[in-house]
Structure 1
Amino acid sequence: MTKQQSAQKRAKNPLNHLFNQPILLLVLTALFWGGNMVAGKMAVGNIAPTNLVAGRFLLGFLVILPFALPHFKKDWPAIREKVFFLAFAGGVGFAGFNLFLYLGAQYTTAVNGAIEQASIPMMVMLANFMFYGERTKALQIVGVIATIFGVLWVATAGAPLRLLTLDINMGDGLILIACVIYAAYSVLLRYRPKIHWMSFLATTFFFATLSAVLYELVSGGLPTMFVNFTKVTTTGWLLVLYTGLFPSIISQLFYARGVELIGANRASLFINALPLFGAILSVLILSEQLQNYHFVAALFIISGITMAEYAVRTKKGNKTDEQH
């Protein structure tokens, strides 16, 4: 077979074609991440949140480990030097975030949970401004306020004054805590060691699994862990399979490839589609109902994200012009 024939054969391979379609890859990434909230809601009565977190990241670790091993030799010095950060990233950023997300799903709708996750990019922007002095335009600040107001509108079912009496649904409160955790993890990624993304995932998935087991031991001990394990249904195991493969590994692979093809700035825009896909999937799969306050909140959130993104890209565009 000639080189030309070999190249033509690779071009016809559906996987090769997929991996050269950045928009499709990034849309699928947001879709799979959006499905994570639906999985958390479906887990109620089928698998305990701690079991789902532990099973998800154990599966992810076992699947990605063979692919990560070739990179470990080169990355080991950096991994050893930053082991405490990697333990935090896995134990808090991954396991902690998903544990609070799945716990919250027991008390609120998946639609609410999906929309509330729109606050994460805004929290990251606000934290970078407060703690790292990143320059922020007035339009960005307005966008942050609008987005967070929209999220609080959802969490209080359209009555934000309930916050004054701390009258907020427990599930929505737990999901907002999850959002704060993931925002903190995202901000601290600036301290991430410079290692291959597969080494990063394998190491953090290991710590996430370990942390999920520790969470369950602290909350109920070995007897509770054993009882929860025996109560996992077939649906529960399917949810472990979905969350362990799609949001954990495939989405990370697709996102990394998307960034490689079109750059981090353009690729990051697609993360904002996560709440949209999560809400749509909640309606289609769980038959949840959209309420009037969801549409009002969506208006604030979409407007806020649009303003913030426009301000960021205008600022970057001006810097580029200055450099030329």
Structure 2
Amino acid sequence: MRESLSRASERLNAAPALLLTLTALFWGGNAIAGQLAVGEVGPFTLTFLRWALVSAVLWTLYGAEVRAVWPEVRPRMPRIVLMASLGFTAFNALFYVASHQTSAVNIGILQGSIPIFVLIGAFFAYGSRVGALQAVGVLATILGVVLVATRGAPDQILSLGVNPGDALMLLACALYASYTVMLRSRPAISGRAFFTLMAPIAAVTALPLMLFEAGSPGYRAPTMTGWLVTLFVAVFPSCLSQLFFMRGVDLIGPGRAGVFVNLVPVFAALLAVALLGQAFAWFHAVALALVLGGIWLAQRGAAPEAVPAIRRSS
């Protein structure tokens, strides 16, 4: 049995397409986990517990690597704390709050806007050139996002308004894009060590949010289902996804690996329909096509150095 598992692990470790497809599947599953968490574990409690569990696992495995590079990263800790707060704590907290107010289908499609936010952020932060194809891609993705946010009636946006959950998810995407843009100037250490360093920072910065939530009227401690959801997001969208993604990048490079990120909204929508029975309306299909098409155009029009590689924490 042990030998069979070892051979299976070796085959998986040498199969970048499978590794990266599983990564996207697990990240898409996070949208389902957010829905299942409603009423079972608070969004801020889930955020804190997620990163606390991830920290315990990663530090056991890779803490020595972080200690070895500590003299290099210590002077840059304020920036690293900001990155963890934006990309890990704030993104996940808003993600799980949004899950209380919108569907997993919407969350998955809106999450597809992150690469476009990264493109825009890279332009303002580093002056990265935006070509014609990229501009068309940005517009297509924005139209897809508007279709989702207005439930297929963009001409009635003023009268309908925007679902608060969709608005929170877009804010979460913008914050995660800010973190991604900042990755360009992260310390020159391994991705594994950097992730191990960021996880406990995320747990610490999420602790005040959890304490605030715990002191709020009507707070309920996590149920058994809540703990199972927490365990799922700690193991699959967090640890395994990050490790699989880093290995995929090592095997085929960040550019080709980044294409697999486009599968996240597809998997999220499919899982939401199959597992949660959520409706998939015509405007979801059109929006998904616009978002994926926009990302495809933006990537085709990007110079290799224009957009930083994306390391997700969904």
Q: TM-score when scaled to structure 2?
A: 0.91
The equivalent residue for 1:183 is 177
Is 1:273 the counterpart of 2:263 in the alignment? yes
The equivalent residue for 2:215 is 223
Distance in 2, Cα, partners of 1:12 & 1:200: 27
The equivalent residue for 1:129 is 123
The equivalent residue for 1:4 is none
**Gap regions ≥5 residues in structure 1:** 1-8, 318-324
Letter in 1 for 2:237: P
The equivalent residue for 1:100 is 94
Pick closer, same or farther for the CA change 1:166–1:68 going to 2, 3 Å.
farther
Is 1:311 the counterpart of 2:305 in the alignment? no
Shift of 1:152: 1.5
Shift of 1:59: 0.4
Letter in 1 for 2:243: L
Matches within 5 A, 1:36-115: 36-115=30-109
Query: In 2, are the aligned partners of 1:10 and 1:16 still within 8 Å (CA)?
Result: no
SS of the aligned residue for 1:240 comes to helix
Matches within 5 A, 1:139-218: 139-164=133-158, 167-217=161-211
Distance in 2, Cα, partners of 1:165 & 1:77: 56
Shift of 1:316: 4.9
Shift of 1:202: 2.3
**Amino-acid identity (%):** 40
Pick closer, same or farther for the CA change 1:159–1:201 going to 2, 3 Å.
same
Is 1:13 the counterpart of 2:20 in the alignment? no
Letter in 2 for 1:240: T
Distance in 2, Cα, partners of 1:136 & 1:271: 21
- CA-to-aligned-CA distance 1:7-48 (integer Å, 9 cap, x gap): xx7997110111000000000000001111111111101100
| Structure with bigger gyration radius | 1
Q: What's the C-alpha RMSD, in Å, of the aligned pairs?
A: 2.0
Query: In 1, are the aligned partners of 2:66 and 2:194 still within 8 Å (CA)?
Result: no
Letter in 1 for 2:72: A
For this pair of structures, how many residues does the alignment match? 303
Distance in 2, Cα, partners of 1:93 & 1:11: 34
Query: In 2, are the aligned partners of 1:144 and 1:305 still within 8 Å (CA)?
Result: yes
Is 1:243 the counterpart of 2:233 in the alignment? yes
Letter in 2 for 1:133: G
Query: In 1, are the aligned partners of 2:266 and 2:288 still within 8 Å (CA)?
Result: no
The structure where helix makes up a greater share of residues is 1
Letter in 1 for 2:99: A
- Please say which of residues 123-132 and 30-39 is displaced more in the overlay: 123-132
The equivalent residue for 2:254 is 264
Pick closer, same or farther for the CA change 1:10–1:257 going to 2, 3 Å.
farther
Letter in 2 for 1:123: F
Shift of 1:303: 2.1
Letter in 2 for 1:267: A
Query: In 2, are the aligned partners of 1:91 and 1:210 still within 8 Å (CA)?
Result: no
Letter in 1 for 2:65: H
Letter in 2 for 1:151: V
SS of the aligned residue for 2:301 comes to helix
Letter in 2 for 1:205: A
- CA-to-aligned-CA distance 1:44-102 (integer Å, 9 cap, x gap): 01100011001100000001101122212321012211111221122221010011011
- CA-to-aligned-CA distance 1:192-216 (integer Å, 9 cap, x gap): 1122323222221111111111123
Is 1:24 the counterpart of 2:18 in the alignment? yes
Query: In 1, are the aligned partners of 2:66 and 2:196 still within 8 Å (CA)?
Result: no
Query: In 2, are the aligned partners of 1:37 and 1:113 still within 8 Å (CA)?
Result: yes
Pick closer, same or farther for the CA change 1:156–1:25 going to 2, 3 Å.
same
Shift of 1:127: 1.6
Pick closer, same or farther for the CA change 1:10–1:296 going to 2, 3 Å.
closer
SS of the aligned residue for 1:82 comes to helix
Q: TM-score when scaled to structure 1?
A: 0.88
Shift of 1:172: 0.6
